[in-house]
Chains A and B, each alone.
Chain A
Amino acid sequence: MATTTAAVTLTSDLLSDNMSVSASTTCMKAGTTADGLDQMEYGYLDLPTGDEYDLIATTPTATKASKLYLKNHSTDETYYIAITQNTQAIGRLYGGDWMFIPADFHDSDGDIAITANGGTNKICYALFHEGTALLAT
């Protein structure tokens, strides 16, 4: 079985006592306890301003499990990537920010779309999944 694990440590001093949360998960295929995600894409891109782009060119099959990591590697903190899914604004990743989500590619409009702001943003992404509908030439 392929094994992909994702661990997180979150700390904050915004509360009266320091908060610290650590967690780790093994990324499994949808609804199973015995079989891990076994396919992945990994890339590092320049994202120019001016247009909205689909981050994932091929569409992992709906109802299957996917995990998406995306980081904005821009060194200018004023630069950001606007994230949308199916026209719903999700949020912004400023330079240095990352996100990790269980992406739901429920239909062709469910792709994660990204738009650069401030200048050309540099991004790194990794998609871990269990099946892709490849685009025919």
Chain B
Amino acid sequence: MATTCSISISSDIAPGFGGISESMTLTQAGTLTDIDSTTGFAIRKLSATGAAILVDMSQELIETKDSTAAKIFIRNIGYRGVIDKSVGVTVLIASEPIGKLYGGDWMMIPLTGVDADDVSVNPATDDTVVIEYVMFFEEN
């Protein structure tokens, strides 16, 4: 076993679209060697607007190797079982907004691992919301 991630997308927007079903094994950059480090699975509770850092690249207990094959999974899991599709949390890399995760939404995105490229989240409202995340990376 290794670290694997599969995605399945179905949609009836376009007639004839057969959907997408893909899987990947997370490997180290440019090799078939399994990725070797993780932050572990964590959650972050947010109750106010304003950016909060999920991953502070310069403060990770295991230093990330720069510009390799790091990836992060992030999901908006709502709060106490209530998932609100109308309220979003913006995910940022450094200061660049990547997109907004509404209740239940998830994302999987590659990262640079560079010290300045922290991963942050910024909720649109003061409503309490919980974000779960896990980063996989190469140890420096």
Q: Which residues of chain A have a CB within 8 Å of any CB of chain B?
A: 2-15, 18-19, 21, 23, 25-28, 30-33, 37-40, 42, 65-66, 69, 71, 77-78, 80, 83, 85-86, 88-94, 96-104, 106, 110, 124, 126, 128
User: Of A3, A28, A83, A101, which contacts B85 at CB under 8 A?
Assistant: A28
A85 to chain B, nearest CB (A): 6
What is the interface of chain B mostly: helix, strand, loop, or mixed? strand
Name the A residues within 8 Å of B109 (CB-CB). Answer: 90-91, 99-101
Query: Interface of B with A (CB < 8 Å)?
Result: 1-14, 17, 20, 22, 24-27, 29-32, 35-38, 40-41, 67-71, 73, 75, 85-88, 90-91, 93-102, 104-112, 114, 117, 134, 136
Contact: A8 with B99, CB < 8 Å?
Answer: no
- When the two chains form their complex, are residues B94 and A88 in contact, meaning their CB atoms are under 8 A apart? yes
Q: How far is the CA of A35 from the CA of B17 in the complex (A)?
A: 20
Cross-chain contact A88 with B93 (CB below 8 angstroms): yes
Task: Give me the 9 closest cross-chain CB pairs, A-B, nearest first.
Answer: A91-B110, A102-B99, A88-B96, A4-B11, A12-B3, A104-B99, A78-B30, A33-B85, A25-B104
Which chain B residues lie closer than 8 Å to A124 at the CB level?
20
Q: Which of A9, A10, A31 contacts B86 (CB 8 A)?
A: A31
* Interfacial chain A residues near B10, Cβ < 8 Å: 3-5
Contact A30 B88 (CB under 8 A): yes
Q: Chain B residues near A27: list those with CB within 8 A.
A: 105
Cβ of A102 and Cβ of B100 under 8 Å apart?
yes
| Chain A residue with the shortest CB-CB distance to B117 | A89
Q: Is the CB of B41 within 8 A of A102?
A: no
Closest residue of chain B to A2, judged by CB?
B13
Q: Are A6 and B136 in contact (CB under 8 A)?
A: no
- What is the chain A residue whose CB lies nearest that of B91? A102
* Contacting pair A6 B27 (CB below 8 A): no
